[in-house]
Amino acid sequence: MGVSERKSYLQMMSEGFRMMKQAKEVEQTVTLRQWTFSFRHDKEWTVILRTDRLKWVGRPANEFSIDLAQVRLGDLSLQRHVESNEVRLKIEEEWGIESKVVCDDEEWGRFVETLKQLKGE
């Protein structure tokens, strides 16, 4: 096998690995009212939040907890207030972001279920 053949074989291999890695990192998107969350999972979880005025990319994190009261992924947390039907979004970073939406139990429940499926719970 000549040098050029070996090079192309190695290029093919690295290309294959890159494609496999990208396939693992497929973004899955979940929407809650005007918030769109894109999740990517490689070794860690990454979340991207998009709203009409904002795009925020979270730092990769291991912690991704989901229950009916709250969702946490790294710097981002969603807190559900049952009395008011408010879901409060908080991003704990230098500048910090806070926002809220109102949604009923059913809509929040579907959102949480979708996240659990996405996470593999």
- Report pLDDT for 66: 97
Q: Are the C-beta atoms of residues 91 and 97 closer than 8 Å to each other?
A: yes
User: CA 82 from chain center: how many Å?
Assistant: 24
Tell me the pTM.
0.76
What confidence tens digit (pLDDT) does each residue in 31-51 have? Answer: 999 999 999 998 899 999 999
- Report pLDDT for 7: 64
- Report pLDDT for 64: 96
Backbone angle region of 56, left / alpha / beta, with phi > 0 → left and psi within -120 to 50 → alpha: beta
Q: Which residues of the chain have pLDDT under 70?
A: 1-7, 17, 19-26
Residues 50, 34: Cα–Cα separation, whole Å: 8
3-state SS class at 23: helix
Residues 55, 11: Cα–Cα separation, whole Å: 35
